[in-house]
Structure 1
Amino acid sequence: MLSSAQPAFILHSRAYRESSALVDFLTPQGRLRAVLRGARGKAGTLARPFVPVEVEFRGRGELKNVGRLDSAGIPCWLLGDALFSGLYLNELLIRLLPAEDPHPILFEHYSATLAALAAGRPLEPLLRAFEWRLLDELGYGFALAEDLSGQPIAPDGLYRLQPDAGLEPVAQLQPGLFHGAELLAMADADWSAPGALAAAKRLMRQALAPHLGGRPLVSRELFMTLKEPPRD
């Protein structure tokens, strides 16, 4: 069965058998895995991350075949930290997004995020916004402006995250907590507020950790390795 053409991005590809590639696509209909035949030829030049394509899939099973693959726009050229950020987003989607689970809004947000990364916009707000959208789309989101009981977050309060549930007020200072003012700044996407970006990074790591199954993210480890100063 050949599907109608749909927009897509390549999340990851690897060699498969003699001249084919096994490719993970992000489409409005979700994450799809398919075999791309003749990947060493013209089709292979399109099987790269961050290139908008139009693709037709053949087959009914979970592993499909690419019937047609064409360019569908200008590639997002990512360099340096923006490249690692894009690889990080791709790995999150591969690890967390169920196969063939439609998320058209997430697809549009991913496309817009790639364009913003390519345009050189500040990385951290873009990454935090995408992580939040991904969690929300998967049903793991939680309120930032109110606690577990529905009470408004107090600017001078202390809170801890209960994964998949929300923010719980605590009375005493302990590791891993969040100040209410930081949470309210996150809710308003006010990244000029002191400590808001750093707190958002900690919060998203805590929120994502249970869904990553304890396995480290390869893109994050690679980024940290390359950022280490050279040893004498």
Structure 2
Amino acid sequence: MLVLNQPAYVLHSRAYRESSALVDFLTPQGRLRAVLRGARGKAGTLARPFVALDAEFRGRGELKNVSRLEATGIPNLLSGEALFSGLYLNELLIRLLPAEDAQPAIFDHYALTLLALGQGRAIEPLLRSFEWRLLDQLGYGFALDQDLHGQAVVSDGIYRLQTDDGLVPIGQWQPGAFQGAELLAMADANWQTPGALAAAKRLMRQALAPHLGGKPLVSRELFMTLKEPTRD
């Protein structure tokens, strides 16, 4: 029987049989799915998102068993927009990461992003950085300062994204296009440039869409509900 000792985070859990939970974990060895027995007891209190864990998994198949689960640090206590942002990251990872595909760089970046969210840092730059790193590590990245022909992006140029290939220069503005100045600001993570953050959000949505399929992200819909003004 294969035994894996891994640092881990819970991405999602749901009830399974009488007293167990079926849990998706993020580890440096990738996304693992495992049965957590006794989930209604002490073990279940650890099976929460955003808690750094040390876990032991047993089993050779895709569905493993959790034989040990311990918290290794102070939980990242997220609330409000930071909480919904953390749930968004978790949903992205569940939807995009292949099972048991080792991604230590993604694991490390996820841990740092959770820490930054818990510290109250600006949310939008954190999300754009994570989306970009995730796409790049999964092989879907593209240059922001060069078009798909290898020519340098110019600040007064206009470009559109050709999914999985890169940026294409176009002669005139069209819906969904990007200004060269915005793309160059993204390349330098210069979020002080007017319009750069909004353009980065549009760009990441375009880049992620083909890999997410037609099913909407639940966390994004919840976040939009949070942002809607309340009515009397």
Q: Residue 160 of structure 1 aligns with which residue?
A: 160
Deviations 1:153-191 (A, max 9, x none): 010000000010000000011100000000000000000
Identity %: 78
The one-letter code sitting in structure 2 at the alignment partner of 1:179 is Q
Q: Residue 189 of structure 2 aligns with which residue?
A: 189
Number of residue pairs the alignment of both structures matches: 232
Q: Residue 137 of structure 2 aligns with which residue?
A: 137
Q: Residue 30 of structure 2 aligns with which residue?
A: 30
The one-letter code sitting in structure 2 at the alignment partner of 1:3 is V
Shift of 1:229: 1.9
Shift of 1:227: 2.1
Q: How does 1:52-201 map to 2 (within 5 A)?
A: 52-201=52-201
RMSD of aligned residue pairs (Cα, Å): 0.8
The one-letter code sitting in structure 2 at the alignment partner of 1:132 is W
Q: Give the 3-state SS of the residue equivalent to 2:93 in structure 1.
A: helix
Q: Structure 1 length normalisation: TM-score? A: 0.98
The one-letter code sitting in structure 2 at the alignment partner of 1:192 is Q
Shift of 1:2: 4.4
Deviations 1:74-107 (A, max 9, x none): 1100011000000000000000000000000110
The one-letter code sitting in structure 2 at the alignment partner of 1:145 is D
- In structure 1, distance between residues paired with 2:4 and 2:63: 17
- In structure 2, distance between residues paired with 1:3 and 1:185: 46
Say if 2:207 is the partner of 1:207.
yes
Q: Residue 227 of structure 2 aligns with which residue?
A: 227
- In structure 2, distance between residues paired with 1:17 and 1:4: 24
Q: Residue 15 of structure 2 aligns with which residue?
A: 15
Deviations 1:121-168 (A, max 9, x none): 000000000000000011000000000100000100000000100000
- In structure 1, distance between residues paired with 2:35 and 2:144: 41
- In structure 1, distance between residues paired with 2:230 and 2:181: 38
Deviations 1:28-72 (A, max 9, x none): 000000000000001000000000000011110001110111111
Q: Structure 2 length normalisation: TM-score? A: 0.98
Shift of 1:228: 1.6
Contact 1:8 1:26 in 2 (8 A): yes
List runs of 5+ in structure 2 lacking aligned partners: none
Q: Give the 3-state SS of the residue equivalent to 1:144 in structure 2.
A: coil
Contact 2:11 2:26 in 1 (8 A): yes
**Runs of 4+ residues over 4 Å off in structure 1:** none
Q: Give the 3-state SS of the residue equivalent to 2:3 in structure 1.
A: coil
- In structure 2, distance between residues paired with 1:159 and 1:36: 48
The one-letter code sitting in structure 2 at the alignment partner of 1:8 is A
